[in-house]
Amino acid sequence: MSVTATMVKELRERTGAGMMECKKALTETAGDLDQAIELMRKQGLAKADKKAGRVAAEGRVVVQRDATGSAAIAIEVNCETDFVGGGDEFQTFANQVAEAALAAAPVDLDALLALSLPSGASVDERRREMVAKIGENIAVRRFEHLARQGDVFGLYSHGSRIGVVVDLKGGDEALARDIAMHIAASRPLCISPDEVPAELVAKEREIFEAQARESGKPEEIIQKMVDGRVRKYLSEVALVGQPFVKDADLTVGQRLKQAGAQVMRFVRLEVGEGVEKKTENFAEEVMAQVRGG
C-alpha cells in the first residue's frame, strides 16, 4: 500500500512527530495508522531511555495553589536547554503536571509519574513522547505538596526559574507573598536558628575556629570570636534573622512579629539547583581534534 501525503499529515497531527518519521512508520506498517502510532510510541520509549542519562539542568519551576487555598504545590520539571524550557509545549507540560500533582497529592515521584494528564496519557508517557519528539532528556525532578497548616499561602515565582510557597499563620496574603519574595531572593536554609542542622553548625564552627587561631589571641578570646561568628552565621541562614528585603531596618522575624504572624514552613525550588552541569569548551574540543589529527 502506498503512503499518501494525507496519511502522513494525519499521523503528524495525532503524534506531533516529524514528517519523515511519520512516513517511515506508515511504510513499515503498510499504511495502518493505529499500528504506526503504536510503533512510534515504542520507538519513542526507546529514545527516551537512551536520553535518560543526559544532564537536564534547565526547565522551569511551577508553584500553584488550589481554588480553596487549602493546598499548594511546588514542582521542578527539567530539560537540557533553556530554548526548550521556554517553549509552549514544555511549559504546558510542566503546568499540567503541577495541576495533576496539586489535585492528587501523590506520595512520591513514582506516584506522580503515574498520574493521568488531560490527554489521557500518564505523566511519564507524555514525558517520553516529548523526549522522542524534541530530542532532549526531560525529567520531573522533584516536588513538594503542602496541605495548609496556617491561615494563608504566599506564592512567588521569579520568572520560571525560582518558585516559593510560604505557609503563614496570621498576617494576610500580601505579607505571605512578601515573605515568599524574600525567600526567593535570600535563600534561607530554615525558619529559625535552632533548625539549622547540627552537623552544618559544627562544620562552620570548625572553620571559624581555624580562622580565629591565626590571630594568635588567647584561647578565651578565640572562643568568644568563634561564638560571635557562629551567631552571625545562624542569623544569616535562618529566615527570621535575615534583614527583610522590603525594609532592611527590620529582620523578617521583627516584621512577622509586627503582623502577629508566624511562618509554619516554606518550600523554595530553583531550576537546576544541585545538578552538576556539563561545561562546554568548544575551543578545547577543536584543539583536541587537531592534536588527534
- What CATH number is associated with residue 47? 1.10.8.10
How confident is residue 141, by pLDDT bands cut at 50, 70 and 90? very high
Residue 231 lies in a domain: yes
More confident residue, 101 or 18: 101
CATH number at residue 205: 1.10.286.20
Question: Total domain count for the chain?
Answer: 3
pLDDT of 227 higher than 80: yes
User: Could you read off the pLDDT of 114-137 as tens digits, one per residue?
Assistant: 999 999 999 999 998 888 888 888
Do 87 and 67 lie in a common domain?
A: yes
Tell whether 62 and 77 lie within a shared domain: yes
C-alpha angle 54-157-271 in degrees, rounded to nearest 5: 15
Report the alpha-carbon distance of residue 238 to residue 231 in Å, rounded. Answer: 11
pLDDT in tens, 245-279: 999 999 999 999 999 999 999 999 999 887 766 55
Query: Which tens digits make up the pLDDT trace of 46-93?
Result: 444 445 556 567 999 999 999 999 999 999 999 988 899 999 999 999
DSSP assignments along 63-115, one per residue: EEE-TTSSEEEEEEEEES-HHHHTSHHHHHHHHHHHHHHHHH--SSHHHHHTS
Q: How confident is the model at residue 175 (pLDDT cuts 50, 70, 90)?
A: very high
Identify whether residues 29 and 58 lie together within a single domain.
Answer: no
Could you tell me the pTM of the whole model?
Answer: 0.75
> Residue 277's pLDDT is what?
62
- Same domain for 44 and 121, yes or no, is no
Task: Identify whether the C-beta of residue 224 lies closer than 8 Å to the C-beta of residue 266.
Answer: no
Cell of 160: 520560571
End of a domain among 115, 147, 179? 147
Q: 169: which residues sit within 8 A by CB, 6+ positions away?
A: 149, 150, 151, 261, 262, 263, 264
